């Protein structure tokens, strides 16, 4: 069955850029859930430009209240800092239904590539095991053409594809070619 999980990061970005509490992230989440969404997704970053740790705690309670999935995205290698306990610590505290691991850094405006499983699988494996022990389904952010068998071998239940190259090809009128050969867009 296909279900919808709404990503609320841009609502949080708008709130943060304005200062204060508007737009209200919890009200936005309730609106989505009341309209029939099956889950909420957020990507708290260590620099707090999107959802913040306190948002994660509040949204975890709300998704439990509604009985829907909570998907927490983040870089498991980013160190804790004031206001951000670290991705694994957040997962331990709120126990999301899904933890999506993303290789982003503070300097990136948005996620712009996936994990390279040939390089990263060994470092990811114990993190995936830790998250699975918390009863989190684990998804890994990957480029198209990634070795999904390797992701499965380290315990990932899902992958999320980075579609930036496809979006660029679509804008240039070459979407069919991009979709036909996903390996051409894969990272080495």
DSSP states along 100-144? EE----TT-SS----B-HHHHHHHHHHHHHHHHHTT-EEEEEEET
Number of alpha helices (DSSP H) and beta strands (DSSP E) in the chain:
8, 6
Contact call for residues 96 and 70 (beta carbons, < 8 A): yes
Looking at the predicted structure, is the pLDDT value of residue 12 above 50?
yes
User: For residues 105 and 157, what is the distance between their CA atoms, to the nearest angstrom?
Assistant: 24
Give the model's pLDDT for residue 180. 66
Instruction: List CB contacts of 157: < 8 A, sequence separation 6 or more.
Output: 137, 138, 139
Tell which wins on pLDDT, 92 or 148. Answer: 92
Domain locations in the chain as residue ranges: 1-105, 113-188
Q: Which CATH superfamily is domain 1-105 in?
A: Aldolase class I (3.20.20.70)
Q: What confidence tier does 166 reach under pLDDT thresholds 50, 70, 90?
A: confident
Q: How much of the chain exceeds pLDDT 90, in percent? A: 68
The residue-averaged pLDDT of 138-160 equals 91
- Among 124, 120, 69, 66, which Cα is nearest to 95's? 69
The residue-averaged pLDDT of 24-39 equals 98
Contact call for residues 88 and 58 (beta carbons, < 8 A): no
Give the model's pLDDT for residue 155. 95
Tally the C-alpha atoms within 13 A of residue 24's C-alpha that lie toward its C-beta. 5
Give the model's pLDDT for residue 173. 85
Q: What confidence tier does 167 reach under pLDDT thresholds 50, 70, 90?
A: confident
User: For residues 69 and 60, what is the distance between their CA atoms, to the nearest angstrom?
Assistant: 9
Entry pTM: 0.88
Looking at the predicted structure, is the pLDDT value of residue 139 above 90?
yes
- Among 113, 160, 155, 102, which Cα is nearest to 131's? 155
């Amino acid at each position: 069955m296909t279900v919808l999980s709404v990503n609320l990061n841009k609502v949080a970005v708008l709130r943060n850029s304005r200062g204060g509490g508007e737009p209200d992230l919890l009200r936005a989440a309730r609106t989505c859930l009341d309209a029939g969404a099956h889950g909420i997704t957020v990507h708290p970053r260590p620099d707090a430009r999107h959802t913040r740790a306190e948002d994660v705690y509040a949204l975890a309670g709300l998704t439990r209240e509604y009985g829907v999935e909570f998907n927490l995205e983040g870089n498991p290698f980013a160190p804790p800092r004031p206001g951000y306990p670290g991705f694994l610590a957040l997962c331990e505290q709120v126990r999301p239904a899904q933890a999506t691991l993303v290789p982003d850094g503070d300097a990136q405006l948005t996620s712009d590539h996936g994990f390279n499983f040939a390089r990263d699988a060994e470092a990811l494996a114990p993190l995936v095991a830790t998250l699975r022990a918390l009863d989190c389904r684990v998804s890994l952010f990957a480029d198209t053409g990634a070795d999904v068998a390797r992701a499965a071998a380290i315990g990932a239940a899902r992958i999320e594809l980075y579609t930036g190259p496809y979006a660029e090809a679509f804008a240039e009128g070459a979407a069919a070619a991009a979709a036909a050969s996903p390996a051409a867009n894969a990272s080495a």
